[in-house]
Structure 1
Amino acid sequence: MSIITASQFDHLREMVLRESAIVLEPGKEYLVESRLAPIARREGLGSVSELVHKLMTSPSAKMTSEIIDAMTTNETSFFRDVHPWQTLKEEILPKLIESRRIDRRLSVWCAACSSGQEPYSLAMLLRDTFPDIVKSWDVTIIATDLSDSMLYRCREGVYSQLEVNRGLPAPMLVRNFQREGADWRIDPELRRMVDVRTCNLAVPNSYPRAASRFDLVFIRNVLIYFDEATKTKILNETSSRMQSDGYLLLGSSEVSISSATRLVRHQFGRTIYFQPS
């Protein structure tokens, strides 16, 4: 099997950067091979190198979209990283609920939601811990991603046994999912809590609009793929869409942010979170 050439890798890097602002670092040829091999097979091509050659010589919008989709799909799991979820349960959500008792509205944005495990984890946490809020408040969880295939999966809310085994204790699984053959489907009430939309974090005009500014925002484990200038832009655009006492959660490896951002850092236990300055 032929391996992609340096010029082909450079072409892909430039395209991914142009379309998504994601930086594909040198040395990631193995990632390109693994992500694009299924597309090459569907196209009836013998290698990823042949796929990239076709992209370079006779590009199409469909192929470009499929390749960007494959290259921007990120790893996820239910209740990924235990500490932020403990902080949500013990600190952030109780404070938000107390301060929103008059309006009885809670607006959340889960950016780069991938196949939906994060927004559904939040929906489960809310229903299990604060059931009265789910029943009587206006709770909106907007889940966004750039990948059409991931947005489809998020809308469907169907997960394999392997996926639900990652992060979901058995009692929580049977309480919040329905068995569907070999897979599991999210409970319809939880599905209705999540509003799935397309968003490119590098394009502020694509950011979701809600009935009010966001009380809580997740941008976890995606900023690592952007350069510093793009990270700062994303964080400042996000903070401008948050309530003044809103909360922002980033990935554990992303909390060292630029001083140019309009955010203040706080800590609860082992969790770092941010609020607009």
Structure 2
Amino acid sequence: MNLPDYEYLRKLLKDRSGLDLSADKQYLIESRLLPLSRQCGLAGISELVQKMKGGSASTIAQVVEAMTTNETFFFRDKVPFDHFRDAIMPELLKARAGRKSVRIWCAAGSTGQEPYSLAMCVKEMSAALAGWRVEIVATDLSQEVLEKSKAGIYSQFEVQRGLPIQLLVKYFKQSGEFWQINADLRAMVQHRQLNLLHDFSQLGVFDVIFCRNVLIYFDQDTKINIFNRLARSMEADGFLVLGAAETVVGLTDTFKPYPEKRGLYRPGGAPATAAAAMPKIAAMAGR
């Protein structure tokens, strides 16, 4: 892959998905796009780029999907789901006792393991949630992964990654070499295609937002913009859950860390700007 093609792809991916690739990530593009080139009957990435430059919207969409499909598995990292069970839901059960409803958004739902993990957590709390309405909305940039999530069908390998055997037996049905999550859990999750770079206010306001392992791919200004908009999509006493390698610290005051709960944040403070965040980051770097 030559440098002009790489720079074209870097700009397109940044504009379309927020993916911010450094100058040394050619290997990542080649590993993702060479198979796509062959699938399209093309000799290589240069031909793929020429097709995109020629205005092929379907090819552009395929490239963005190939570059933004990320790994996921059930109860990934475990800790966020412990927080959900032990801190988030107990507080919301008290705070929402009057309306008896909770809205949860998985902002990078991928193939469904995260939203269905949350659905299983909710099912396990069914006694405490009797008479409550719990809504889970899963969004993703890729329609392909959303379709897999809707189907809720997973391989033996996928269900063995992070899913306790008792939950597999309780909430899945086996069909040959595959497992399908039960219809009542599938019905708990709504699926919508969404680009986090675009306006998402139409989704409404949430009590809990899981936005994990997606912001690490964005540059600083994009992260700040998304944090500010997430704050506007959250109840004043809601909860934000980030991935293990993600933080609001040094970027924005719209969220504050929850004491002694890594990766858990609550709204608080004024929206940040990129200019305001830079001195904080510089100060941190100098420590």
TM-score (norm 2): 0.88
Aligned residue in 1 for 2:281: none
Instruction: Provide closer, same or farther for how the CA distance between residues 98 and 67 of structure 1 changes in structure 2, counting only shifts above 3 A.
Output: same
Out of 116, 128, 149, the position equivalent to 2:144 is: 149
Q: Spell out, residue by residue over 1:147-193, the C-alpha distance to the aligned partner (whole angstroms, 9 max, x if none).
A: 11111111111111111111012111111111122111111111011
Matched, 1:41 2:51: no
Matched, 1:170 2:161: no
CA distance in 1, matches of 2:189, 2:37: 33
Cα RMSD after superposing both structures: 1.6
Residues 29 and 67 of structure 2 are in contact (CA less than 8 Å); yes or no, is this contact kept in structure 1? Answer: yes
Q: 1:194, CA displacement in angstroms?
A: 0.4
Aligned residue in 1 for 2:264: 273
Residues 19 and 218 of structure 2 are in contact (CA less than 8 Å); yes or no, is this contact kept in structure 1? Answer: yes
CA distance in 2, matches of 1:208, 1:121: 25
Structure 1 residue ranges (4+ consecutive) displaced by more than 4 angstroms after TM superposition: none
Residues 199 and 208 of structure 1 are in contact (CA less than 8 Å); yes or no, is this contact kept in structure 2? Answer: no
For 2:94, give the aligned amino acid. E
Identity over aligned residues, as a percent? 40
Q: Spell out, residue by residue over 1:187-235, the C-alpha distance to the aligned partner (whole angstroms, 9 max, x if none).
A: 111101100001111112x45524xx21100010111111111101101
Instruction: Provide closer, same or farther for how the CA distance between residues 241 and 214 of structure 1 changes in structure 2, counting only shifts above 3 A.
Output: same
Out of 89, 111, 117, the position equivalent to 2:113 is: 117
Gaps of 5+ in 1: none
Matched, 1:71 2:62: no
Aligned residue in 1 for 2:235: 243
TM-score (norm 1): 0.92
Gaps of 5+ in 2: 269-287
Aligned residue in 2 for 1:260: 252
Out of 17, 22, 26, the position equivalent to 2:19 is: 22
For 2:237, give the aligned amino acid. D
Residues 227 and 252 of structure 2 are in contact (CA less than 8 Å); yes or no, is this contact kept in structure 1? Answer: no
Instruction: Provide closer, same or farther for how the CA distance between residues 132 and 220 of structure 1 changes in structure 2, counting only shifts above 3 A.
Output: same
Aligned residue in 2 for 1:209: 203
SS for the counterpart of 1:103 is coil
SS for the counterpart of 2:71 is coil
CA distance in 1, matches of 2:116, 2:134: 13
CA distance in 2, matches of 1:132, 1:96: 15
For 2:254, give the aligned amino acid. R
CA distance in 2, matches of 1:134, 1:49: 55
Instruction: Provide closer, same or farther for how the CA distance between residues 176 and 44 of structure 1 changes in structure 2, counting only shifts above 3 A.
Output: same
Residues 221 and 253 of structure 1 are in contact (CA less than 8 Å); yes or no, is this contact kept in structure 2? Answer: yes
CA distance in 1, matches of 2:253, 2:66: 30
CA distance in 1, matches of 2:65, 2:86: 36
CA distance in 1, matches of 2:69, 2:225: 21
Q: 1:257, CA displacement in angstroms?
A: 3.2
Moved more, 90-99 or 228-237: 90-99
For 1:209, give the aligned amino acid. L
Q: 1:237, CA displacement in angstroms?
A: 0.4
Q: Spell out, residue by residue over 1:24-49, the C-alpha distance to the aligned partner (whole angstroms, 9 max, x if none).
A: 22221121122123321221123233
For 2:65, give the aligned amino acid. D
Moved more, 33-42 or 113-122: 33-42
CA distance in 1, matches of 2:44, 2:227: 38
Out of 104, 108, 115, the position equivalent to 1:108 is: 104
- Superposition pairs for residues 228-239 of structure 1, below 5 Å? 228-239=220-231
Aligned residue in 1 for 2:191: 196
SS for the counterpart of 1:132 is coil
Residues 235 and 261 of structure 1 are in contact (CA less than 8 Å); yes or no, is this contact kept in structure 2? Answer: no
Q: 1:55, CA displacement in angstroms?
A: 2.4
